[in-house]
Amino acid sequence: MNDSIHDHDELHKGAPQTGTRLLADVSLPAAVIHESALAHNLAWMQGFCDAHGARLAPHGKTTMCPELFQRQLAAGAWGITLATAPQCRAAFRHGVNRLLMANQLVGEANMAIVAGLIEAGADFYCVVDSLANVEQLARYFTACGLRLKVLIELGLPGGRCGCRDTDEVMALAERIDSEQALVLSGLEGYEGVVHGSDPERAVRAYAWQLVEAAQGLERDALIETPQPLITASGSAWYDLIAEVFHEAHLGAQFVPVLRPGCYVVHDHGIYRQAQRDILERQPRIEHGLKPALEVFAQVVSLPEPGQAIIGMGKRDIGHDQLPEPLRRYREGDERGRALSVQGWQVIRLMDQHAFVRLPRESEEPEVGNGRVRVGDIVAFGTSHPCLTFDKWRRICRVDERLEVVEVMQTCF
């Protein structure tokens, strides 16, 4: 199933068809999305945004999966956020018309891609943070006879990109205002680079700085578009950004847009903890997101007591945190009965092997759940789904019976 080393024609050879059995018919390892958790997450985040008077433009770089883009749009998303011009092109080719590129558009080859998208009818936005980039964009799009919608990025000292203060934002806006080819369409930020001893307070302060800068742009009549955007938020602090935008009553002046991406499948690591923090900060929010993405792999060796080797490694699953064993199955089990992996621990990953430490009871004679066997299938949870999605070109969406109901493609 992991097709990163095969050419495009090979991707479809032997692909599991709808209705096949994950535990019997699918070549493992395989990336798997559980439909019940996916459907829950799609509805949950859209409901959260609606309740806060915000639009949702989920970050597509997380999955680069057109089928998931369409599910997000069908659930009510305003558009899709992307990171690069080629990503925007791929999304547009698969039916996404409103594209928010939350990065600077630099380089004439990338500008050519975007010009082609605009000519084809895409509603495209990108960000700027420097006079040099404004001049480059103005020169290129003037020559093309096109107009480019831009958002000024407000960053943080020591952070990533973006103007460092409101004065820089205002000066850049005045320069954009003098360029016929550029249409200032609002303000963009990203709070994920905020750090410090009290990050919650710092994120709130940054969100209010975005609000005040946006209001300054409107006050000085520097925004040209009739429905300007104010947009921020990743997958860890979206509640605080939404709260501040809502408290600022921006709805009449700006379109608030939130951009979390990882919510669509959530995870068993850093975003699970981030969600716990959000639910603690926001006790009125019920339930929360559910992890939907797992990697299924098989035990390939039991070389010595207390250790299992799994046919899954760094090429198959994200590893900024080690994967978490969740459940175990017998290969071919028609009933899909989950066996215990209590006490199992991944202690090391190689390219395509995982070292798992087993508890003592896994070595005992076969009773109850039974001791582990070569060929057993293990479901693993992962942290930071972006770093698992980009390892796969096909992903199995399964129902509660572990039947494959769709094979989704990615376009990294």
- What is the percent of the chain with per-residue pLDDT over 90, rounded to a whole number? 86
Q: What are residue 393's phi and psi, to 5 degrees? A: -110, -15
User: Which of 58-67, 144-153, 190-199 shows the lowest per-residue confidence on average (mean pLDDT)?
Assistant: 190-199
Q: What's the whole-number average pLDDT of the chain? A: 93
User: Which of 6-20, 160-174, 224-238, 347-361 shows the lowest per-residue confidence on average (mean pLDDT)?
Assistant: 6-20
Are 372 and 298 found together in one domain? yes
User: Which of 11-20, 149-158, 193-202 shows the lowest per-residue confidence on average (mean pLDDT)?
Assistant: 11-20
Any domain includes 383:
yes
Are 186 and 313 found together in one domain? no
Any domain includes 279:
no
Q: Which CA distances in Å does 197 have to 201, 202, 203, 274, 276? A: 9, 9, 12, 16, 19
Q: Which CA distances in Å does 72 have to 31, 76, 275, 383, 394? A: 20, 7, 20, 21, 18
In this prediction, residue 13 carries a pLDDT of: 39
Are 253 and 384 found together in one domain? no
pLDDT tens, 327-347?
Answer: 999 999 988 899 999 999 999
pLDDT tens, 119-143?
Answer: 999 999 999 999 999 999 999 999 9
In this prediction, residue 7 carries a pLDDT of: 39
Question: What band does 361 get if pLDDT is binned at 50, 70 and 90?
Answer: low
Are 136 and 244 found together in one domain? yes
Are 104 and 244 found together in one domain? yes
In this prediction, residue 41 carries a pLDDT of: 98
Write out the H or E segment, with its range, that includes residue 199.
Answer: helix 199-219
**In a 3-state reduction of DSSP, which class is residue 389?**
helix
By the 8 A CB rule, do 33 and 341 touch? no
- What is the percent of the chain with per-residue pLDDT over 70, rounded to a whole number? 93
By the 8 A CB rule, do 88 and 65 touch? no
Question: What band does 16 get if pLDDT is binned at 50, 70 and 90?
Answer: low
Any domain includes 58:
no
Domain end (from 260, 278, 309): 260
Higher pLDDT, 366 or 62: 62
CA 180 – CA 142 distance, rounded (Å): 8
Q: How many domains does the chain have?
A: 2
By the 8 A CB rule, do 24 and 332 touch? yes
Are 313 and 380 found together in one domain? yes
User: Which of 41-55, 206-220, 281-295 shows the lowest per-residue confidence on average (mean pLDDT)?
Assistant: 281-295
In this prediction, residue 35 carries a pLDDT of: 98
Residues in CB range of 388: below 8 A, 6 or more apart: 31, 293, 295, 316, 317, 318, 382
Are 238 and 157 found together in one domain? yes
Q: How many residues does the chain have?
A: 412
Domain end (from 244, 260, 276): 260
pLDDT tens, 157-205?
Answer: 888 999 999 999 999 999 999 999 999 999 999 998 888 889 999 999 9
Write out the H or E segment, with its range, that includes residue 153.
Answer: strand 148-153
Any domain includes 67:
no
Are 332 and 370 found together in one domain? yes
CATH of the domain at 13: 2.40.37.20
What is the DSSP secondary structure assignment for residue 367, as one 8-state letter? Answer: -
User: Which of 65-74, 145-154, 284-293, 315-324 shows the lowest per-residue confidence on average (mean pLDDT)?
Assistant: 284-293
On the question of pLDDT at 14 being above 90, the answer is no
Residues in CB range of 392: below 8 A, 6 or more apart: 1, 2, 3, 4, 31, 410
Any domain includes 118:
yes
Higher pLDDT, 18 or 103: 103
Any domain includes 315:
yes
Domain end (from 260, 277, 311): 260
On the question of pLDDT at 369 being above 90, the answer is no
Are 231 and 104 found together in one domain? yes
H runs (alpha helix) in 228-376? 238-247, 270-281
Q: Which of 68, 56, 39, 89 is nearest to 386 (CA)?
A: 68
Any domain includes 83:
no
In this prediction, residue 85 carries a pLDDT of: 98
On the question of pLDDT at 6 being above 50, the answer is no
Average pLDDT over residues 372-389: 97
Any domain includes 92:
no
Question: What band does 317 get if pLDDT is binned at 50, 70 and 90?
Answer: very high
Are 188 and 301 found together in one domain? no
Domain that holds residue 363: 8-33+289-409
In this prediction, residue 2 carries a pLDDT of: 59
CATH of the domain at 123: 3.20.20.10
Are 236 and 378 found together in one domain? no
In this prediction, residue 358 carries a pLDDT of: 96
Question: What band does 368 get if pLDDT is binned at 50, 70 and 90?
Answer: very low
On the question of pLDDT at 11 being above 50, the answer is no
Higher pLDDT, 139 or 4: 139
Are 384 and 239 found together in one domain? no
